[in-house]
A = this chain, B = another copy of it.
């Protein structure tokens, strides 16, 4: 029986692949595993039934037989450990790929999300310009370091891995802010990942949820409607 994941019934990113179910969809496509999707509304996410699966009332979750998991990073790692295609066979290379997974989520993502949340929630505040300069610099420090490490390589450490998968989804959170253009090798890195057939299938499937199940939100304000940073 295929695994079941949860995703936003109406994604605040309007189907642009920024919601965290995208990571799990992409991972499952990379390893060739079918899956089912259960859509949940924002109010359902905060109800006891969903919180039994996810203590913090978010998406995605992952159910497979008796196993229920939350946290996109943990779900991607579980998939990568169970199926070939997202982690190298060599034990040391495997540990390094996992290090890149944590680096994506714990070192690169936080300053990016803080930056984008400030834009979403504080850009009309009198202090925005002054704070945003600091937040912009924090992102640029991380991007410069990442760019320096990647250099001319295709992927972060040898073959494409779950570390690249998470890092690309984190870089895509920069959204419409064109800061990535300052780092041509990072732009090419993201574009290279987006060309992968598994990425395209995952992207199209999550976009289809948005275009078919919630057409009226096409006229909404998208991300700006959702104040809770962590839910996107």
Q: Interface of A with B (CB < 8 Å)?
A: 51, 55-58, 66-75, 77-78, 92, 95-96, 98-99, 101-103, 105-107, 109-111, 113-114, 121-122, 125-127, 131, 134, 138, 142, 145-146, 148-149, 229-230
Given contacts A69-B95, A110-B113, A230-B107, whether A74 and B102 have CB atoms under 8 Å apart is yes
- 5 extra interchain contacts, Cβ-Cβ under 8 A, other than A71-B103, A127-B127, A138-B229? A68-B96, A73-B106, A77-B102, A110-B113, A111-B230
Given contacts A106-B105, A106-B109, A110-B110, contact A74 B55 (CB under 8 A): no
Say whether A107 contacts B56, CB under 8 Å: yes
Contact A55 B230 (CB under 8 A): no
A70's partner among B67, B78, B99, B230 (CB-CB below 8 A) is B99
* Residue pair A92, B66 in contact (C-beta under 8 Å): yes
Q: Bound state CA distance, A102 and B74, in angstroms?
A: 6
From B69, B105, B121, B127, give the contact of A126 (CB < 8 A). Answer: B127
Residue from B103, B114, B145, B149 within 8 A of A114 (CB atoms) = B114
Q: Is the CB of B99 within 8 A of A69?
A: yes
A72 to B98, CA, bound (A): 11
> Known contacts A69-B96, A110-B110, A145-B57: does B74 contact A101 (CB below 8 Å)?
yes
Report whether A55 and B148 are in contact in the complex, using a CB–CB cutoff of 8 Å: yes
